[in-house]
Amino acid sequence: MSEKTIQDVFDEQRKNNYNIEEQKEEIAWGQNFLAKCLKRQKNIENKLQSLKVDLIKQKKIKFIKCDINTWRKHNEEKMLCEKYYIYYYDGQIRQEGYYEGSSQLEDFDKIHFNEFVNDYFYYGYPLYIDRNHHNSEATECELAFGSGDAYFKEFEY
């Protein structure tokens, strides 16, 4: 095996210096890209929060626990068409009443309510989950309603 010449060491040093500079540029690019991603993440989070609707928290609806006669009188007096619900869980009635304000919701909010009505009964609020996430599973609510352990009956006026 031959010994390295001084030129071999210069060549090795030059190559190493080149690699150092290249890695510094990569790190700078990566840090810049990371900063942009973190800024975008904040924008995404803000957008996500602005799209999450909770009609109860926003005081657009309120569940009124009552019997069916009280509900009927409410609809007659206010000339409304709010539905009456009987929510069952594990074979027992858990809630009876109506969502005050539900008949006056805008179309967007009506669509939301119909999509998340099970969540409103089960959790008291809509549960937002990322369905496309690789670890996404059915929620407790979906399992309960899917198995028949949870269900509700609705009556229209």
Domain coordinates of the chain in residue numbers? 1-51, 62-155
**Each residue of 102-128: pLDDT tens digit?**
999 999 999 999 999 999 999 999 999
Rounded to an integer, what distance in angstroms lies between the CA atom of residue 17 and that of residue 21?
6
Q: On the CB side of 50, how many CA atoms lie within 13 Å of its CA?
A: 6
Cα–Cα distances in angstroms (integers) from residue 53 to residues 40, 114, 139, in the given order: 22, 12, 18
In tens, the pLDDT along 17-43 reads 999 999 999 999 999 999 999 999 999
CB atoms within 10 A of CB 11: 12
Specify whether the backbone of 90 is left (phi greater than 0), alpha (psi in -120 to 50) or beta.
left
